[in-house]
Amino acid sequence: MIKILEFKILIMKLNLDCIPCFVRQALKASRFCGMSEKEQEKVLREVMSLLLNEKWNKTPPELAHVVHAIVRRYCGDPYAEVKKKSNELAMEIYGEVKELVEKSEDPLKTAVKVAIAGNIVDFGAVDKEKVEDFDLLNFVKKIVSEELDVDHYDKLKKELKMCEKLLYFADNAGEIVFDKILIETIKEYFPVRITLVLKAGPIINDATIEDAKQVEMDSVVSEYRFISNGEVGVERNSPEVEMWLKEHDVTIAKGQGNYEGLSEFSGIFYMLLVKCPVIARHVGVKVGSKVLLYR
């Protein structure tokens, strides 16, 4: 049965389970860029020292930013190549996935499911070493064939009918190709202007302007804006981002990081695969759930 749930606004603050997850992410990233074991130890000791001295009253993305800034200081952008490869592999199946959307009974809802399926390409939350390990096409087909576990699609469709300006927070490279399919489908049905929000600089495999250019987002997006990676850009819970929300009629936010970072604001449609027990408890679903949630 599809869950249609009522939600009150619950700000997503740091959970103690996030702390060992940050350490795991730092270790994975340092291994990703080929550090020696001694160098990995150095990174982990600095990360653990930072976590011990930082206040834990921040949102998970805010603390993740300072953790990954340490990793980048030692080895630059560990995920630069895997991001390019993710975009390339997703673009290879773009035509087949687009056809799947266009031939479906409800192309808009199918495109929503496709965008949610793309959220699997997450090297921070999913234990994969190569983008090929995700088997993207078969995973997309699987998600499209299933019902959503939280389904506020009717609300989204109603809001889009009255929408002139849409704010869309992207999540990961590779995934951004499936966001493009959703954005293209929205524009086929509704005369909306799209503002795409990306990371201002590299962090894990999150999408940046380079990824948007690689998958030719310029053809469907009117404007770009940028949120922080811990070094440049504005934080998601900032007054600037609150103003962005007010300037747009509808906001869509992809992925767990945006769910965490935007949680103090209301009136947002969240699209994500739930990969974390903390978020699963916060949403009220199981890990693995497919979510289109309006809060």
Of 75, 94, 112, at which residue does a domain stop?
Answer: 75
pLDDT at 246: 97
Residues of the domain holding 278: 80-294
Residue 5 belongs to a domain: no
* 130 and 31 in a common domain: no
pLDDT at 10: 58
* 205 and 66 in a common domain: no
pLDDT at 7: 42
Residue 3 belongs to a domain: no
The model's pLDDT over 58-70, given as tens digits with 9 standing for 90+, comes to: 888 888 889 999 9
pLDDT at 9: 47
Q: Are 68 and 154 in contact (CB under 8 A)?
A: no
The model's pLDDT over 6-39, given as tens digits with 9 standing for 90+, comes to: 444 456 677 888 899 999 999 999 998 889 999 9
Residue 288 belongs to a domain: yes
pLDDT at 148: 98
* 195 and 129 in a common domain: yes
Of 59, 75, 91, at which residue does a domain stop?
Answer: 75
* 103 and 29 in a common domain: no
Any idea what the CATH number is for the domain that residue 210 is in? 3.40.50.10880
The structural domain count of the chain equals 2
The model's pLDDT over 77-111, given as tens digits with 9 standing for 90+, comes to: 999 999 999 999 999 999 999 999 999 999 999 99
* 71 and 149 in a common domain: no
Strand partners, 234: 227
Residue 143 belongs to a domain: yes
- CA 260 vs CA 91, 134, 140, 154, 241: distances in Å: 28, 24, 24, 24, 14
* 96 and 62 in a common domain: no
Residue 54 belongs to a domain: yes
The model's pLDDT over 159-190, given as tens digits with 9 standing for 90+, comes to: 999 999 999 999 999 999 999 999 999 999 99
Of 58, 75, 92, at which residue does a domain stop?
Answer: 75
The model's pLDDT over 217-251, given as tens digits with 9 standing for 90+, comes to: 999 999 999 999 988 999 999 999 999 999 999 99
* 241 and 102 in a common domain: yes
Least confident of 46-60, 135-149, 183-197: 46-60
Residue 13 belongs to a domain: no
* 268 and 139 in a common domain: yes
pLDDT band at residue 139 under the 50/70/90 scheme: very high
pLDDT at 235: 92
Residue 4 belongs to a domain: no
pTM: 0.92
pLDDT band at residue 126 under the 50/70/90 scheme: confident
The predicted model gives 147-160 an average pLDDT of 98
